[in-house]
């Protein structure tokens, strides 16, 4: 108990009675208040600093993703440009193919078989009429030859027009030519498919 009593007595000792050299340094009240405010500010600013650092890290992450997306978009843009170029080439090729098909149909008589019309050109010729040349054009056939008289050429043209092979038959030329044994007619007929 004596010890507790001596501790209580020591606790009541006023430190101001000590000589100045032995007294602890006392800071002025404004300094203590400033330190308390700084400590409170640090306590309050610490979460803001942590939030700011997290935001910077997130921003860096998002900036990296944005750069990757931008690179991908540029690659897609180049792919789209290449696709457009290929589409233009394909369109040009299809146009050329359509022109070739159209020319082929013109040469072949718009899809009609040539054999039936050619056989009619020779089988419909009356006796004495000779077919010298057959030339195929865009819309039909031009037949040239010789005949003994105009009546044979007219009957030949009618025979060509009566079948299904030609829609229109026209005598385009009928001229008299001197042959070795007598006068003969040279004719030209345009037969349209």
> Coil, strand or helix: which one is 164?
coil
Number of domains in the chain: 2
Question: For residue 147, what are the domain limits?
Answer: 114-192
CATH number of the domain at 148, please: 3.30.70
Structural domain contains residue 12? no
Total-model pTM: 0.40
Structural domain contains residue 15? no
Residues 91 and 135 in one domain: no
DSSP 136: E
Phi, psi for residue 145 in degrees, rounded to 5: -175, -165
Q: Do 117 and 141 form a contact (C-beta atoms < 8 A)? A: yes
> Is 2 a residue whose pLDDT tops 70?
no
pLDDT tens digits along 110-138: 445 555 566 777 777 888 888 888 887 77
Residues 142 and 162 in one domain: yes
Spatial CA neighbour of 146 closest among 168, 176, 180, 121: 176
Structural domain contains residue 79? yes
pLDDT over 70 percentage in the chain? 79
> Could you say which of 69, 91, 107 is where a domain stops?
107
pLDDT interval class at 30 (50, 70, 90): very high
pLDDT tens digits along 70-121: 888 888 887 888 888 888 888 998 988 888 887 776 655 544 555 556 677 7
Other CB atoms within 10 A of residue 157 CB: 20
> Could you say which of 88, 107, 126 is where a domain stops?
107
pLDDT tens digits along 4-21: 665 555 555 555 676 778
Q: H helices then E strands: how many in the chain?
A: 4, 4
């Amino acid at each position: 108990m004596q010890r507790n009593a001596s501790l209580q007595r020591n606790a009541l000792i006023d430190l101001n009675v000590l000589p100045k050299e032995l007294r602890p340094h006392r800071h002025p009240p404004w300094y203590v208040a400033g330190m308390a405010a700084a400590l409170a500010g640090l306590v309050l600013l610490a979460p803001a600093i942590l939030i700011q650092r997290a935001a910077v890290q997130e921003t860096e992450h998002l900036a990296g993703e944005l750069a990757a997306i931008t690179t991908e978009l540029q690659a897609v843009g180049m792919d789209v440009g290449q696709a457009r170029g290929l589409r233009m080439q394909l369109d040009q090729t299809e146009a050329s193919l359509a022109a070739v098909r159209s020319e082929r149909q013109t040469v072949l008589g718009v899809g009609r078989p040539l054999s039936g019309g050619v056989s009619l050109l020779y089988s419909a010729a009356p006796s004495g009429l000779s077919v010298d040349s057959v030339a195929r054009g865009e819309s039909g056939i031009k037949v040239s030859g010789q005949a003994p008289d105009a009546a044979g050429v007219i009957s030949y043209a009618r025979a060509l027009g009566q079948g299904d092979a030609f829609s229109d038959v026209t005598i385009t030329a009928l001229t008299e030519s001197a042959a070795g044994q007598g006068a003969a007619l040279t004719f030209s007929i345009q037969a349209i498919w």
